Every structure is written in structure tokens, then in C-alpha cells.
Amino acid sequence: MHSVLEKMTSTIQQQWAQCQTILADNMTSSAYQTWFAPIVPLQFSEGVLVLQVKSQFVAEYIEENYIPLLSSAIYRVFGQGTRLEYRVLIDSTSGAATNLPSTAAPQQKSSVTPVQHNGTEFESQLNTLYTFDSFVAGEPNKLARTAGLAIAKQPGYTAFNPLFIYGGSGVGKTHLANAIGMQAKALNPSLRVLYVSANTFKLQYQEAARTNRIPDFLNFYQSVDVLILDDIQYFAGLKGTQDTLFHIFNYLQQSHKQLILTCDRPPVELKDIEERLLTRFKWGLSAEILKPDYQLRKDILLSKMRRDGITLGEDVVDFIAQNVRDSVRDLEGILASLLAHSTLTDKEIDLALAEQVVSRIVAIQPRLVTVDDVIAKVAKHYGLPEKSILAQNRSRDVAQARHVATYLCKQLTSSSLSEIGFKMGKRTHATVLHSVQIIKEQSEFDPVLRQHLHQLEAAIMQ
């Protein structure tokens, strides 16, 4: 028995070694050593290949950046139709682990043939890594997320049909759309939920038209309970595709089936889309996901660090959150790059390494903080009018806020003591120094004040 198992294991290892050779030949040595060299093949049974990876972060990064190449290598060595799963250790003490299925669909003869309906089996094409648990909530996505949670409970029976999610690249539209589908299926497993990109929908339609199978195409899509269409801006100028989508939209909407659409702009800014479709896009809720603010960027970093067992100093987290402003995807890329550099050089991730990596990915703009910026943030933090901080008010609360503002002006601006004093109500150089010294001494033994200073500094530098 042992010899049989050993032989099977040896065969899998040999096949995976062939895959690794293909991968190594098609990427840089550092990328291969970081992401693929540590992978251990565990099992190949009934068409499913199980690979052990260090963390969910590694699995997600491979899925995001290397899945076409990895899939190609696996199909070549293990055979077409092979399905991939990642084995992730979630508790090193107990040895508990979980399997994460790859988002790559098994290779088919035609990459644009619609998924076929065969009884209760239905391939949703959802990304199982994109859930509400991994979607970090914040003010920039609050409306869209709240609507998504309501839809997941009662798809097709809320006022949010369709749900039109829009926003710039990398803000989390695709993640949220998939999360709604995943939650809907978790609450009602019999639902036919389908995620499809606009480009795939277009190619499927074109092939159906070429092979005279438009009725089959319509029947399939009209059988869906929750249809998620991603990046619909790519339907611009495609009259035949738009006509077909119009009929599918009408049928699903009238049948209380849920539609979820994502786009890089609001309906009013879409060009070369038929007016009748634009009108229907506006029937439900248009919810914008804004670029992540400082607090959300920081929360996303902390969430991914907890999930993947990464430890970063508070100064590193603050630096990344302050400088990587536009995209959640950029934040993920920064973490991946930091992890790769740390792994390859066997060095801790410190502020110097963070500055080096971030500067290669985004343009770091120095934050020019003014005295007026500081006064406004301090006044808001303490719930005071700005003019009271500048006045000769000697009440304890106002005086403390004034001292804090003066201290932060000294720490965060390039203004001289005289300039700070003038802006702070025409106070003297000596008065400014006195305020700075008061806060410096208080902060050494007052943890609450230190927390206030940290919160204010983060808000000012945001």
C-alpha cells in the first residue's frame, strides 16, 4: 500500500516539476522563486490538482497575475480539463487547512461557448475569493455595499434592480459584485448565479450569431436568477450585442430576476450605448464606489496583513496608506512586492524598503501641510470653531486645543516659529515654543493625548 502511495506521489511531483520548468521559462527568476518554487503538489485525483501554498495571499496573487500561464502549464502536463485547488494552512499549531478552488475554468474546446444548463449543476463563474468577509467596508463604498447585502438576501425583490455599481479602476467593483453573488448562493444554494465579463458576453453572442444559435443563447441567459455583468462600458458601439442584452434585461427584470452591472463611469457618461438600455440602467440604484480614503486604505492593509500573517510596523502602514491613494489593487501590489523583496533578501520590511518599493509603483508626492490645514483639523477634532483657537480665549479646553494645534504645526509644517505664531492669532515666538513644550511633556505620560495626536496627524497627512 505504501509503495503505491509513494509511486503516486512521485508521479505528481515529477509532473509538477515539468510545470515548474514551463513556468520558470516564462517569467523572471525572482518571480518564479517567490511565487512558484515554494509550492508543493499534494494530490491529483479525479481531474483535480491540489497545490499547497503558504497563504491565501499567495493564492490570490497567483490568481490575479499568473493564472493564464499556470493554467496553460497544468493543462499541458496534467491534461485539458484539469481543475486547480490551493491548499492553505490556516492554523500552524493544529495543522488545520482549507482548500480554495481556482477561478480558472477548465479548458474547453471553445472559450466562448456559454455555460450549459444540465439539471441542478450550474457553473457560476464567481471568484470564490471575493466575499463580503474579504471586502473591507468604509465610507467610499458604504452605499454600494449596503445595497449589495440587501440584494443578496432577496435578489430581484428589492428596489435595487438593477444595481449599477460604478467607479474608477481598482476600487473594488468586481470584488463587491462577486461578493453579492457568493452571499446570494450561500443563502439560497439553488439560485442560478452567473458572473460574466462584458467581453466574454460579447464573444459568446458573436459565436452564437455565427452558428445560428441565438435562441439557445437567449434561453440560457433568461434561465439565470442573478446576472452579474462586469465592465459594461465595453458594450459601446456593439449594436447587435446591445439589442440582445436589451431583450435579456427586460425578461430578467420582469421575472424578478436580479441584474448587477459594473462600469467605470455613471450611466449619464456612457457613450454609444442605446438610449433604451441607458434608461433601464437607471431603473434601480446607481451606486458609486469612490477611491479609498486614508482610513479605508489603512483598514485594507491591516485586513490583508491579518489574513496573510504579514507583520508591518505602524510607520510602514501609515506611509503606504498615505502614498498609495488611487486603487485597492495598488495596495495589494505593494504588499506583494514588499513580501517578495523581504523573501528574496531575507530582510525585515522596514520604512526604507517600503519607500523604495512604493516609489517604483506610484509617484510619491510630498504632502505640503499648512498651518491652516492643522488649525482646521484640530478644530474639527475637538468640536470647536476655528476662530476660538485663534482668539485670546483662556478656557482650559480651548487652550489645550490651541497648544495641540501649535505643536502639530511645528511637527508637520515647514513654517517658522514666527510664521506659526502669526497664523495662530499673532502670538509670539516664545508663546509658540511654550505650547510645543507643554504638549511634548504631556504626551510623555498621557496615552490619551498621544492617541489624539496620532489620530490628528493621520487626518492632517491624509
Q: Average pLDDT by consecutive 10-residue portion of the chain (462 residues)?
A: 50 88 80 88 89 85 81 83 84 69 57 42 82 86 91 90 89 92 92 92 88 86 93 89 88 90 90 88 87 82 77 80 75 77 74 74 64 88 86 81 88 81 84 88 81 82 68
- Pairing between β-strand 258-263 and β-strand 96-101 as defined by DSSP bridges: unpaired
Pick the CATH number of 139-288 from 3.40.50.2300, 3.30.450.40, 3.40.50.300, 1.10.150.120: 3.40.50.300
Query: Where in the chain is CATH 1.10.8.60?
Result: 294-361
Per-residue confidence (pLDDT) for residue 362, from 0 to 100: 63
Cell of 454: 496620532
Query: What is the torsional sign of CA 346, 347, 353, 356?
Result: negative
Query: Where in the chain is CATH 3.30.300.180?
Result: 2-101
Per-residue confidence (pLDDT) for residue 333, from 0 to 100: 75
The CATH class, in words, for 294-361 is mainly alpha
Q: Are 152 and 274 in contact (CB under 8 A)?
A: no
Cα–Cα distance, 331 to 354 (Å, whole number):
12
Per-residue confidence (pLDDT) for residue 408, from 0 to 100: 87
3-state SS track over 144-176:
HHHHHHHHHHCCCCCCCCCEEEECCCCCCHHHH
Per-residue confidence (pLDDT) for residue 187, from 0 to 100: 93
CATH topology (fold) of 371-461 = Chromosomal Replication Initiator Protein Dnaa; Chain: A; (1.10.1750)
Per-residue confidence (pLDDT) for residue 1, from 0 to 100: 43
Per-residue confidence (pLDDT) for residue 364, from 0 to 100: 57
SS3 361: helix
Non-local CB neighbours of 154 within 8 Å, separated by 6+ positions: none
pTM: 0.57
Strand order in the sheet with 163-166: 193-197, 226-230, 258-263, 163-166, 285-288
Q: How many CB atoms lie within 10 A of CB 17?
A: 11
CA-wise closest residue to 384 among 371, 372, 398, 395:
398
Question: DSSP readout, 236-255?
Answer: TT-HHHHHHHHHHHHHHHHT
Q: H/E element holding 99? A: strand 96-101
Query: Where in the chain is CATH 1.10.1750.10?
Result: 371-461
Per-residue confidence (pLDDT) for residue 112, from 0 to 100: 38
Per-residue confidence (pLDDT) for residue 114, from 0 to 100: 42
Per-residue confidence (pLDDT) for residue 72, from 0 to 100: 79
Q: Which CATH superfamily is domain 2-101 in?
A: DnaA, N-terminal domain (3.30.300.180)
Query: Where in the chain is CATH 3.40.50.300?
Result: 139-288
Question: DSSP readout, 255-285?
Answer: TT-EEEEEESS-GGG--S--HHHHHHHTSSE
